[in-house]
Amino acid sequence: MNRSNMNRRNISDLLASSRGASHANVGTRERIASIAGGALVAAYGLKRFSVGGMALIAAGGALLVRGLSGFCPINAAIGRDSSEQQRGIELQTSLTVDRPRSEVYDYWRRLENLPQFMKHLADVRQVSARHSEWVARVPKDMGTIEWDAEIVAEEEDQRLAWRSVNGADVDHAGEVRFEDAPGGRGTEVHVNLAYRPPAGGIGKAASRLLNPAFEQMVKEDLRRFKHVMETGEMPTIEGQPVGA
């Protein structure tokens, strides 16, 4: 397997392991039916002071949880998914930065630096050694979306990987690899990012962010990253392709 396919598999595995809101596997109609049915079954069980009544209350509660959460463990076990999933985005790109690998890694590892060159990010706040809070801007002043993330792999000066935590409103995963560029030309930075919005209203807002222009926007973000690392200043001309 070549490195490109391996990296895509890695980011897909990271995204799949991030069980946020987009992992709902029950469709809207089924959720409504589960809530209504669960309430009726639980109410009937409450009227019966018996073992059977307790069983009905438990069954009704399970249906309520299924409807409210949109997640069904049975569906997950058999591979069934009736939810209205929004389209996600996965992108992979590389660039060469004319700075030492340790310096490039250290700058990226301070996650608070990411909004300085990634325009779609409003804020990233490191709350512990491995956990961080992310805020992304939705285009056309439609507000923001937020999620918590955790670092799941870290090899100093070589690799950094993260994913959104369980229950996040947006499933997000990222991996960046840092390698010495041939001929002493600095550092090769290989970036893999994946976003998947949830179903429902929040999903519609997130899908406005994850539009076809998103990939080009991230590439321009990385051009700014290259410029900042090499000059210490933000570029003033937008829209140029990422250099390599």
Spell out the domain ranges in the chain.
3-21+85-231, 25-78
Say what the pLDDT of residue 107 is: 95
Residue with tokens 């690899």: 177
* Three-class SS of the chain: CCHHHHHHHHHHHHHHHCCCHHHCCCCHHHHHHHHHHHHHHHHHHHCCCCHHHHHHHHHHHHHHHHHHHCCCHHHHHHCCCCCCCCCCEEEEEEEEECCCHHHHHHHHHCHHHHHHHCCCEEEEEECCCCEEEEEEECCCCCCEEEEEEEEEEEECCCEEEEEECCCCCCEEEEEEEEEECHHHCCEEEEEEEEEECCCCHHHHHHHHHCCCCHHHHHHHHHHHHHHHHHHCCCCCCCCCCCCC
pLDDT in tens, 171-190: 788 899 999 999 999 999 99
pTM, two decimals, is 0.62
Identify the CATH number of the domain defined by range 3-21+85-231: 3.30.530.20
Point out the least confidently predicted range of 21-35, 118-132, 152-166. 21-35
pLDDT in tens, 26-36: 666 777 787 88
What is the rounded distance in angstroms from the CA atom of residue 167 to the CA atom of residue 34?
20
Band the pLDDT of 241: cuts 50, 70, 90. Answer: very low
